[in-house]
Chains A and B, each alone.
Chain A
Amino acid sequence: MRTLEQTTQEILELATKHFKVVPGSLKAEDDFYKKLGIDSLQTLEMLSRLENHFHIELPDYEVQGVSDFKTLAERVQARL
């Protein structure tokens, strides 16, 4: 079973690849809306990638108010 650190790292890697940013430029504490400049449509795309990657169901209401990768990872971890 993945640790929270592993989950966080995988999310950072997924986001790096999907949004085509410089590897290593994203940190767990980053506000992904501000850092990546994404809108709700792109957030839902990201959600689909997370669900497909981790083989989980992650309702979009679970990410209400979540804006950093660390908290997002905690939400994902809870569904593993």
Chain B
Amino acid sequence: MKEFRGRALRWEWRDGVVELTLDHEPLNEIGTVMLADLEKFAAAIKGLAPNTSACIITSARPGGFCAGADLKELYQGAAPLPNQKRVARVRAFLKRIHKVLNTIDAAPFVTFAAVHGLCMGGGLELALACDQIVADKMARFGFPELRLGLIPGFGGIPRLRRDVGNSFIRDLLFTGRTVKAESAHRAGLVAHLAGEGYALQVARSMAQQVTRFDAETRAAAKKFIKPIPLAELNQEIGLFCKLFNRPVVMQSLRRFVETDDSMKYLPVAERQHSH
């Protein structure tokens, strides 16, 4: 399927390069709608692969690449359920998103995330499934999950471990802070920096370069250089579900959902948990 237009994203193939554009209000949050469209893309990869050298994932939302999981949907879906059903529901969602990201991660063509603005949580996990992150200098990256009493659940920690040092990971996780693109570049998370508003242009130039080389060699090299840490990814799902099964998480999600929309991307000033 060389072209597709869904509710949350669209893609278009041209001259060996697929451009996948996320476009779901407000900031490409990954809930059931985005997941369904990402699943369609994952299913289309096999058909696209023979004629594709590169894929660029980008965002049409002015605020950034992706703000992460749709926490409002997560809370509203989980809140009415008894504990066991809540965890089962979350686990089922995680398995679906992991399948999608593993498929993108293993795609036989080179994948680029062209990032501007906010790239947090599940959004960063989507970017990490790509081979290269190209970020404009105003982009910000973060894993704010600890603010909710959780860890990243879409494969963030195992994938981050492939690219950066453990100290940087601990900084991101334990402080829940966002880092600017330049810091992310210094740490090895971002491969290339671009001027403000130029991430997509730079990614396109890199994608064009990639089309010049032998496809079979490229696919073999990618598989060799970037193994998918399946055991760790499954471990992460288990730990996420264990943590999710605690009252503090629903309390934090409720607080997030009830926070004034205008302030939701900043850390909350008051202490959230007892220690």
Q: Using a CB–CB distance below 8 Å, which chain A residues touch chain B?
A: 39-41, 43-45, 47-49, 51-52, 57, 59-61, 63-65
In the complex the two chains form, is A60's CB within 8 Å of B138's CB? no
Can you offer 22 A-B residue contacts whose CB atoms are under 8 A? A40-B264, A41-B63, A41-B64, A41-B118, A43-B265, A43-B266, A44-B265, A45-B138, A47-B140, A47-B180, A48-B138, A48-B139, A48-B181, A51-B182, A51-B183, A52-B137, A57-B180, A60-B177, A60-B267, A61-B177, A61-B267, A64-B267
Report the bound CA distance from A45 to B64 in whole Å. Answer: 10
Given contacts A41-B63, A44-B178, A60-B177, contact A65 B269 (CB under 8 A): yes
Please report which residues of chain B, range 220-267, place their CB below 8 angstroms from some CB of chain A when the two chains form the complex: 261-267
Report the bound CA distance from A70 to B43 in whole Å. Answer: 53
A58 to chain B, nearest CB (A): 9
8 additional A-B residue pairs with CB within 8 Å, beyond A44-B266, A60-B266: A39-B265, A43-B266, A47-B140, A48-B138, A51-B180, A59-B175, A60-B178, A65-B269
Contacts of A64 in B (CB 8 A): 266-269
Contacts of A44 in B (CB 8 A): 118, 140, 178, 265-266
Chain A residue at minimum C-beta to C-beta distance from B262 = A39
Report the bound CA distance from A42 to B13 in whole Å. Answer: 33
Q: Using a CB–CB distance below 8 Å, which chain B residues touch chain A?
A: 27, 63-64, 117-118, 137-140, 175-183, 261-269
Report the bound CA distance from A29 to B64 in whole Å. Answer: 30
Contacts of A61 in B (CB 8 A): 175-177, 267
Report the bound CA distance from A63 to B261 in whole Å. Answer: 18
Q: Is the interface of A mostly helix, strand, loop or mixed?
A: helix
In the complex the two chains form, is A48's CB within 8 Å of B180's CB? yes
Report the bound CA distance from A43 to B140 in whole Å. Answer: 12
Chain B residue at minimum C-beta to C-beta distance from A64 = B269
In the complex the two chains form, is B180's CB within 8 Å of A52's CB? yes
In the complex the two chains form, is B182's CB within 8 Å of A40's CB? no
Contacts of B180 in A (CB 8 A): 47-48, 51-52, 57
6 smallest CB-CB distances across A and B, nearest first, come from A39-B262, A40-B265, A40-B266, A59-B177, A64-B269, A65-B269
In the complex the two chains form, is B137's CB within 8 Å of A39's CB? no
Contacts of B118 in A (CB 8 A): 41, 44
Report the bound CA distance from A65 to B269 in whole Å. Answer: 6
Report the bound CA distance from A47 to B117 in whole Å. Answer: 12
A13 to chain B, nearest CB (A): 18
Chain A residue at minimum C-beta to C-beta distance from B186 = A57
Report the bound CA distance from A41 to B67 in whole Å. Answer: 10
B123 to chain A, nearest CB (A): 13
Contacts of B139 in A (CB 8 A): 48
